[in-house]
Structure 1
Amino acid sequence: MSSAAAFVAGLREHIHELTDTIRFQEHLLCDLKEEQRRARKQLNSFVDPMARLPVELLSEIFTLCVSGISRSRINCCEAPMSLLQVCQSWRDVALAIPNLWTRLEVEGLPCSDEFVDMCTAWVGRAKGKPLALSLSGVLNISRNVRQLLDVCGQQLHELSLELQDQGLLDRRIDLQGATFPSLRTLILTSASRTPICTPKDSVELLRAAPALLECHFRGMRYSRIGFGEGYISPLTHTYLTTLHLGQPEDADAEISKNSAVVLKYLTLPALRDLLVTELDISESEAISFFTRSSPPLYRLELIIKEHTASMNWGPGTLAQCLQVIPTLRELRVSGPGCASALLVLMINERILPNLRHVTVWPSSPQRADYALVLALLSSRSTLESFKFILDNSWPHDEDVFALRELADSRGIDIHVGPFGINYIDLSRCKNAG
């Protein structure tokens, strides 16, 4: 063998020896690091009282850390992420508790795939538990939004989308072919003063969630641009029990505008709770919805605004709608000119025979007809509460006395006056003084 060949062979043998030595040292280093971790854990168990807590008690403490948080964010300064930063034992315990990872809030989904990977890891830690996901802010990265929704898959039980001014929903979130088989609660909120949906978008969202029980569409404005109503396939949803098309607490705010147009395409035979703050369907369409659904409706809240008169919505229409839902127990109606006709209707106890709670809010200056109020309360032996929200209609003393007598003798909760002020209670105080 030549000297050159021998030199090359020697170098190769030396490299192999170094490689083996490095591998041995790496294993040794790993063993040392593991021994160091065990030693630190033992030290902590002596000097740190928290480290001596049983795993079961520590798990309960961790659970309490997130119990008061409606939504958890991917933030190292907040629970549950902050629990991973303390020590290895805390990290191990936190990762072993699925309930810490069942709620996730994402505000403005970042463009990076790394963030989606972090969300995916979060979902994996829930280990198949029902998951609540909230997406808000700028959601214009449709690929990442859809990817995150698909990652949640069967675990997704609650979905909240809070949208801002960015154009129509289907241009921001690709929901084509999406399915949410386990979804129970859907909340879609718009902070936009321009349309963000078509009626078809809302109907298709409901179609994609066949097990949905509760749905809230808040502040929606529907666009009809490039939209043919004939393309909407009617939907019968057999599980939906709660449908809120608006927010009652913001009934006067411009942002609370909603649309009942989706009711034209829906049949909801299980519906028990309905709120509508923008009646933009005709009399016949409204009656048709209640008739074909024939729901066991328990609670109904309608806010009838001035311009709905153009849709033939008036006291007569309201009366016809109420007569086809005899199961109703709680009724709240707000709107100009509805009070007297509604009171006359309800004096007949054969209409809405199960009614227990009534709130009437005329929402316009008018003198209350207390004779009708007394007639209603006298005829409804099963009524438990009655609220007549008026701003400037102080009752006469004889009316107050009669109302107070009814309240005391029948145990009815009666409120007459503005929100927060009950003329009956004020009269009690005045007489007592």
Structure 2
Amino acid sequence: MSNPYPVLTLPFDIISQIFVYCLPPEDDALPWRTEAPLLLAGICRDWRDVALTVHELWNTIHLSLRPRSILKVAPLLKFWVPRAGNLPLSMSLVYKSEGSDTAAATRTLEELLDVYAPHWSSIELKIPLPTLIGLSPPEEDLASLRKLVLDLGAGWLTNRDKQLGDVFSKAPKMCELHIISGPSAKLALPWEQLTTLRLDNASRAECLRTLALVPKLVNFTVTLWAGSPGVSGSVLPPLSRLKSLTFTLSHTRGPALLHSLTLPALHHLALELQSLPEITSVTSLITRSPCFLRRLSVRMGLGWTADYFMQLFVTLDSLEELEIKKASQSLDTGLGLLKVQPHLLPNLRSLSVERTFHVRENAELLADLLESRWNIPATVSLPVQLKSFRLDSPLTEAPDADSRAVLRLARLRAEGMKIQIRSSFWSWFY
């Protein structure tokens, strides 16, 4: 009788590799019976024997738990973890508390953190602040923990001088932290070793207190409260290693925070700018730091004038990549400045535009600008060519496919400029 599963006729190392390729993406929450490796172990006895022997199938586990399911996970881990053999074990946990949290669920969470402390690589907890404070720290260090996400809801400390428990204070490899609400600066964490930090729903004051704790910070993403106060005299010492700063909701709030920062290593900045004073906050940061900004992603306002663009462009001599989001028709003013004043953004290599308004694209202006930055005249001392242009505008009306401007753009792309225009009307530039 022929083997109903021909894969079992292959050499063991080939079968093992095929089984490993069956594993779901790392961000999938395991374990599910419909996913590898449990699925492979349930096909038949022969497949089960192979799956239980391949340690690479079991050295990673991702758990997504709630109080009603957390009590069932201990037996599963007792089955799962030994299958990894001597391989390093990587474990991630997403735990979301509910109004029906019980003391038993909290104890089981403590046991998971305690028994498997050396193996956790990523932990995400959505729990009330009092529950976090009540958790006992694990007996062993969280030796593998690299990323921690905490959603503490609306709970706050009543005692301003009180510091939270030290559940995650002994994590020698932790470098990434994401706090969703809550008094971040009060957490007992290895702040001095963090390189990536994200704060959501933070006040400006809390944000400044937290930044003062992270001297090695490289990447910072923040969403400030809508009610955060404006400019004040509070200024932090320079954050000498911070290279990337992103405001997820930044209009008026983000620029206010910039007045308190000095970032000499800043390379990438992403934020929203509506008014001239907000643009001034960016140019002041660059001048005060001083920094060599390489990449800027900006959501521009509707009423930008030539003065707005000039105020921004004149301080960006080091800029290599410019991304403009939610661009309105007023962007043409800025593009026109770049065309007629080649000394602006002299190191620009990549320009990306995202339109969100129904406008008729000025193809002649685009062709003029790209040609001026590609075929640089000898009389102009631009150090680099503009090598990449992208326009993403599904509602944009395009000119005729055989118009002179479109033919000029096609010629530039044939000469080597990377031009990508995403629009239902510009299909020949996809």
Q: Which residue of 1 aligns with 2:173?
A: 211
- Aligned length, in residue pairs: 358
Amino acid at match of 2:313: I
CA-to-aligned-CA distance 1:71-92 (integer Å, 9 cap, x gap):
3523334321133334454334
CA-to-aligned-CA distance 1:223-248 (integer Å, 9 cap, x gap):
x7xx9x7x6779743341x33446xx
Q: Which residue of 2 aligns with 1:402?
A: 368
CA-to-aligned-CA distance 1:357-400 (integer Å, 9 cap, x gap):
12234678967632445478643232222234454576767643
Work out the percentage of aligned pairs sharing the same amino acid: 20
CA-to-aligned-CA distance 1:236-294 (integer Å, 9 cap, x gap):
43341x33446xxxxxxxxxx66663443234444443333437475458852xx4321
1:63 aligned onto 2:20 = yes
| Equivalent of 1:237 in 192, 195, 199 | 192
| 1:72 and 1:79 in contact (8 A); partners too | no
Q: Which residue of 2 aligns with 1:129?
A: 88
Q: Which residue of 2 aligns with 1:344?
A: 310
Q: Which residue of 1 aligns with 2:275?
A: none
How many angstroms does 1:61 deviate by?
2.0
| Equivalent of 1:144 in 105, 108, 111 | 108
| 1:132 and 1:158 in contact (8 A); partners too | yes
| 1:123 and 1:152 in contact (8 A); partners too | no
Q: Which residue of 2 aligns with 1:252?
A: none
Distance 1:177 1:308, change over 3 A: same
Distance 1:78 1:387, change over 3 A: closer
Aligned-pair RMSD on alpha carbons? Answer: 4.6
Q: Which residue of 2 aligns with 1:82?
A: 39
CA-to-aligned-CA distance 1:109-147 (integer Å, 9 cap, x gap):
436745323224323433452414132444643222222
Task: Name the SS for the 2:371 alignment partner.
Answer: helix
1:180 aligned onto 2:138 = no
Range that drifts further, 53-62 or 69-78: 69-78
Partners of 2:52 and 2:233 in 1: how far apart?
52
1:265 aligned onto 2:210 = yes
| 2:151 and 2:181 in contact (8 A); partners too | no
User: Which structure 1 segments of 5+ residues have no match?
Assistant: 1-43, 247-256
| Equivalent of 1:293 in 239, 247, 260 | 239
| 2:118 and 2:144 in contact (8 A); partners too | yes
1:195 aligned onto 2:170 = no
| Equivalent of 1:369 in 329, 333, 339 | 333
Task: Name the SS for the 2:137 alignment partner.
Answer: coil
| 1:98 and 1:125 in contact (8 A); partners too | yes
Q: Which residue of 2 aligns with 1:276?
A: 222
How many angstroms does 1:66 deviate by?
0.6
Partners of 2:296 and 2:252 in 1: how far apart?
22
How many angstroms does 1:46 deviate by?
6.8
CA-to-aligned-CA distance 1:151-196 (integer Å, 9 cap, x gap):
33222222344x4xxx624426854535533222334569xxx636
Partners of 1:70 and 1:320 in 2: how far apart?
40
Q: Which residue of 1 aligns with 2:61?
A: 103
Distance 1:75 1:398, change over 3 A: closer
Q: Which residue of 1 aligns with 2:298?
A: 333
TM-score, normalization by structure 2:
0.64
Partners of 1:286 and 1:52 in 2: how far apart?
70
Distance 1:173 1:148, change over 3 A: farther
Q: Which residue of 2 aligns with 1:37?
A: none
Distance 1:315 1:121, change over 3 A: same
User: Which structure 2 segments of 5+ residues have no match?
Assistant: 259-277, 376-384, 408-430
Higher helix share: 1
Task: Name the SS for the 2:372 alignment partner.
Answer: helix
CA-to-aligned-CA distance 1:282-312 (integer Å, 9 cap, x gap):
5458852xx4321150x33334545639957
How many angstroms does 1:330 deviate by?
2.0
Task: Name the SS for the 1:379 alignment partner.
Answer: coil
Distance 1:211 1:135, change over 3 A: same
Distance 1:236 1:85, change over 3 A: closer
Range that drifts further, 148-157 or 79-88: 79-88
Partners of 2:389 and 2:84 in 1: how far apart?
48
Partners of 1:391 and 1:202 in 2: how far apart?
44
Task: Name the SS for the 1:125 alignment partner.
Answer: helix
Q: Which residue of 2 aligns with 1:31?
A: none
Distance 1:367 1:83, change over 3 A: closer
Partners of 1:394 and 1:366 in 2: how far apart?
12
How many angstroms does 1:63 deviate by?
0.7
Partners of 1:201 and 1:420 in 2: how far apart?
51
| 1:210 and 1:237 in contact (8 A); partners too | no
CA-to-aligned-CA distance 1:295-342 (integer Å, 9 cap, x gap):
150x33334545639957733333333342625422223364896677
| 2:247 and 2:254 in contact (8 A); partners too | no
Partners of 2:341 and 2:88 in 1: how far apart?
50
| 1:270 and 1:295 in contact (8 A); partners too | yes
Q: Which residue of 2 aligns with 1:318?
A: 282
Partners of 2:309 and 2:282 in 1: how far apart?
12
| 1:264 and 1:285 in contact (8 A); partners too | no
Distance 1:78 1:295, change over 3 A: same
Task: Name the SS for the 2:68 alignment partner.
Answer: coil
Partners of 1:426 and 1:98 in 2: how far apart?
59
How many angstroms does 1:405 deviate by?
1.9
Q: Which residue of 1 aligns with 2:388?
A: 413
Q: Which residue of 2 aligns with 1:171?
A: 131
Distance 1:111 1:168, change over 3 A: same
